[in-house]
Amino acid sequence: MNKLILNFKSNKSKKIKNPKNFLGGKGANLSQMGRMGLPVPPGFTISTKVCDLFYKNKKKLSPKILNDIKKELKHLEKESGNKFGDLKKPLLVSVRSGARVSMPGMMDTILNLGLNDKTVIALASKTSNMRFAKDSYRRFIQMYSSVVMGVDNYNFEELIENYKLSKEVLLDTELDENDWDALIQDFKNVVKNKTKKDFPQNVFDQLYGAISAVFLSWESHRAKVYRKLNQIPSEWGTAVNVQSMVFGNMGNDCATGVVFTRNPSDGKKEIYGEYLINAQGEDVVAGIRTPQNITKKARLKSGAKELSLEESMPKVFEELKKILKILESHYKDMQDVEFTVEKKKLWMLQTRSGKKTKICCTRKTIPGLRVLQKYSVGLGGGLNHRFNLSDEYLIKDNHIASSNLRKLITNAKKNRKRITVEVDNLNQLKKIMDLKFDAILFDNMSIKNLKKGLKLVGKKYQTEASGNINIFNVKKIATTGVKRISIGELTHSVRAIDLSLEI
C-alpha cells in the first residue's frame, strides 16, 4: 500500500490484507461503516506506517506527510461543506488515536480542533448559539493544552469548580456564554503561565501538534506499562483518525451516548447503554452529570425519572436499533458503539467488539516468578492491569479517613499515573464520589453492596471487584456489571504440578 493516509470511504481499504494492522482498530471499523453506508462523519486515517516514519524522522512529521494531510483536508472540506480555519463556515475536527488493539484510557483524544479567537465567533454565528460555541472553545483549550502542551488537566478543573462555587451552581450546563468567556481567558492565562507560550491560534499548527501528540502518546509511560502487561509489541504503533466534528452539545435536540448491542454482563440480547442530552462524549464518562438509560425498559427497571432515548427521541432510537443489529450481524460479536445526535440526526462515531467482564490477576505473585506469572496470565486470556505498586497510586481506607484526601489526589495527578481508590463499604464510597480519579476497587464487598455501589458509580469511574473471589463465586460477581474482577489466586496461590518427562 503506497498511500499512507486513507479517507474513511476509500475503496482502497478493501485491498488491505489486514486493515487493523494498517489503519488501526478504530480506523478500520470507521472505514467499514463508511463503506456500508452507515451515518459516519467524514474523515481520514493516518496509518500506523506513518507512526513508524514519525519516530524514524526524529519525532517529526515529514513534509510529504504534511502535504498528504492537507490534500485529505481538502476532501474533508468538500464532503462536509465547511472549510478549515474559515471565518464563515469553519471546519472543526476531532483527532483520535487508534491502535490495532483497544487500549482503553492509554491514548489521547482532542475534540473541537480548529477553534480560535476568530473561528469561535464564526461558529456562534453559524449555529446562532454563542453559549455552545464558547463551551466548545473552552473544551478544546483544556484538551489541547493537556494533551499537546503538557498542562495538567487539574489546573483547568479547579478553575471550573471554583467558578461554579462563586456562581452558586452545581453543573457546567448552568454556566452561560459570559461565564465561559471569562474561563476561556483564565484558561489561556494558565497556559501562558505554565508553558511560557500563547495558546496556538493557527489552525494548521493546532492540527499538526495534535497528530504529533497522538503519535507521542504511543510511547507515554502509561501506554508502555499497558503494552508490557498485555504483550503488545511496541513496533505496532498507532494510527490517527481525523474526523469532522458533530456536536451533541448544541441544545436539547442533541445528545451523545455509549451503547452495547447486548448486555455485557450476561450476554442477554438487549440494547444496553447510557446517553446524555446536550453533551459531548467525555461528559458521559466524566461523572459530571448522571447519564440516562437508552431503553424505556432499563429506565423503569432502574427507577429513573429522566426519559430514556427511546422515549425522548423515538425516531433516533429506532434508527440506532437497526444499525446495532447490522453491526452485530456483520462483526459476529457484541459491539460497543459510540454515537452522537446533532439536531436529531444520528451519527456513528465508533464501533468495536465489546469487552465483557475481564478477569485480572493482582500485584501479589510468588517471589522471583513475577514476570513469568504475569506473562502466563496474559496467555490464558486474563488481563494484567498492574505489574507492581509503581504502576499507579492505590488509595486505601486509611487515606479515605484522612482530612487531606482531596489534596492527596490532586498531588497524585501531577505525576500522571492512574489513581485507584479502594473501598470496602458504601459509606467510604459516598465520601469519595465528588472526587476525580480513575478507578474504584470494591474490596471484599457482598454481592448486594457491590450492586448498590455500581449503581451509585454509574460510568463515572472504572470499576473492579477483589477480595475472596474464587471459581465458585466469580460468575455471580461478573453478572453485577463490574468491569474487572481481580483474583489473587491466579498468581499468589498457584498449586504445584508434578510433571514427568518419561516416555
List the domain boundaries for the chain: 5-244, 255-353, 358-490
Q: DSSP class of residue 138? A: H
In the three-class reduction of DSSP (H, G, I as helix; E, B as strand; rest coil), residue 278 is classed as coil
Cα–Cα distance for residue pair 451/454, rounded to 1 Å: 5
Average pLDDT over residues 64-77: 96
Please give the pLDDT value at position 496. Answer: 64
Cα–Cα distance for residue pair 143/240, rounded to 1 Å: 16
Strand order in the sheet with 358-360: 358-360, 484-486, 462-466, 439-443, 418-423, 392-395
Hey, what amino acid is at 169? V
Largest CA distance in the chain: 82
**Cβ neighbours of residue 393 under 8 Å, at least 6 residues apart?**
412, 415, 417, 418, 419, 420
Cα–Cα distance for residue pair 129/155, rounded to 1 Å: 27
Using CA atoms, how far residue 315 sits from 36, 253, 311, in Å, is: 21, 12, 9
In the three-class reduction of DSSP (H, G, I as helix; E, B as strand; rest coil), residue 8 is classed as coil
- Please give the residue that has the higher pLDDT: either 469 or 344: 344
- Of 109-113, 148-152, 205-209, give the range with the top mean pLDDT: 205-209
Cell 477553534 sits on residue: 115
Cell 493516518 sits on residue: 46
> In which band, very low, low, confident or very high, does the pLDDT at 351 lie, cut at 50, 70 and 90?
very high
In the three-class reduction of DSSP (H, G, I as helix; E, B as strand; rest coil), residue 497 is classed as coil
List, for residues 180-217, the tens digit of each pLDDT value: 999 999 999 999 999 999 999 999 999 999 999 999 99
In the three-class reduction of DSSP (H, G, I as helix; E, B as strand; rest coil), residue 172 is classed as helix
3-state SS record for 415-427: CCCEEEEEECCHH
Do 65 and 53 form a contact (C-beta atoms < 8 A)?
A: yes
CATH superfamily of 255-353: ATP-grasp fold, B domain (3.30.470.20)
In the three-class reduction of DSSP (H, G, I as helix; E, B as strand; rest coil), residue 259 is classed as strand
Cα–Cα distance for residue pair 42/431, rounded to 1 Å: 44
Residue 119 grid coordinates: 473561528
β-pairing, 43-46 with 90-91? unpaired
Cα–Cα distance for residue pair 222/10, rounded to 1 Å: 33
Domain spanning 358-490: CATH 3.20.20.70: yes
Please give the pLDDT value at position 277. Answer: 93
The third-level CATH classification (topology) of the domain covering 5-244 is Dna Ligase; domain 1 (3.30.1490)
> In which band, very low, low, confident or very high, does the pLDDT at 415 lie, cut at 50, 70 and 90?
low
Please give the pLDDT value at position 257. Answer: 93
What pTM was computed for the model?
0.74
Do 255-353 and 5-244 fall under one CATH topology? no
Q: DSSP for 354-393, please give it.
A: PP-PEEE--S---TT-HHHHHHHHHHTT-B---SSGGGEE
List, for residues 306-317, the tens digit of each pLDDT value: 999 999 999 999
Cell 466534528 sits on residue: 245
Q: How large a percentage of the chain has pLDDT more than 70?
A: 92
Please give the pLDDT value at position 26. Answer: 92
Residue 259 grid coordinates: 451503547
Nearest to 341 by CA among 328, 323, 354: 323
Hey, what amino acid is at 493? S
Query: Does position 47 have pLDDT exceeding 70, yes or no?
Result: yes
Residue 40 grid coordinates: 459516519
Using CA atoms, how far residue 454 sits from 368, 426, 434, 439, in Å, is: 36, 10, 15, 12
Cα–Cα distance for residue pair 390/261, rounded to 1 Å: 37
Residue count (the chain): 503
Query: Does position 400 have pLDDT exceeding 70, yes or no?
Result: yes
The total of other beta-carbon atoms located within 10 Å of residue 479's CB is 15
> In which band, very low, low, confident or very high, does the pLDDT at 135 lie, cut at 50, 70 and 90?
very high
Helix (H) / strand (E) element for 406: namely helix 405-413
Number of H helices, E strands in the chain: 19, 18
Residue 495 grid coordinates: 498449586
Using CA atoms, how far residue 349 sits from 29, 177, 280, 476, in Å, is: 10, 27, 12, 33
